[in-house]
Amino acid sequence: MKSFRKELWFEIPGRRAFVNITPDVKVCLAESGIAEGLALINAMHITASVFINDDENGLHHDYEVWLEKLAPHAPTSQYRHNRTGEDNADAHLKRQVMGREVVVAVTEGKLDFGPWEQIFYGEFDGGRKKRVLIKIIGA
């Protein structure tokens, strides 16, 4: 069994953003030399997500509006977590809706994807350095 590991680093200037990391994952997969297996891609931080969906700006705007409705940032005093001195409780909630990780099949050395699948890093509490982990196992 082969295994491969790499970290991607991000420093998002604003509070929230979605970044397409599919090209980075493809580079990792090629580097790994793994033809058949599973690739795990996960946020290493608990106020961020990795998810698979469409690379369409309008949809990303809809996600932003929708997540803010489901788990509003303000007033920050509504969350007990923010009494610790943080203002990011909403980011911990948004991340649960969008998910921590994806697992992708690797087949014949490629990400085994449907026609529109793209992998995104979802930042909900930016302005600091954060990481995504790519771990691929297989043969």
- The residues that touch a second copy, with contacts defined as CB under 8 A, are 1, 3, 5, 36-38, 40, 42-46, 51-54, 56-59, 61-63, 66, 70-71, 79-84, 89, 92-93, 95-105, 107, 112-117, 131, 133, 135, 137-139
Nearer to a second copy, 15 or 46 (CB): 46
Nearer to a second copy, 15 or 64 (CB): 64
CB of 65 to a second copy, least distance (A): 8
CB of 127 to a second copy, least distance (A): 16
Nearer to a second copy, 30 or 65 (CB): 65
CB of 62 to a second copy, least distance (A): 5
Q: How many residues does the chain have?
A: 139
CB of 73 to a second copy, least distance (A): 13
Question: Could you give the residue ranges of the DSSP H alpha helices within the chain?
Answer: 22-32, 57-70, 89-98
Is residue 41 a contact partner of residue 21, using CB atoms and an 8 Å limit?
yes
CA distances from 120 to 18, 52, 69, 72, 137 (A): 6, 6, 21, 21, 21
Q: How far is the C-alpha of 35 from the C-alpha of 22, rounded, in Å?
A: 17
Nearer to a second copy, 30 or 107 (CB): 107
Q: Which residues contact 32 (CB under 8 A, 6 or more apart)?
A: 2, 4, 136
Is residue 5 a contact partner of residue 137, using CB atoms and an 8 Å limit?
no
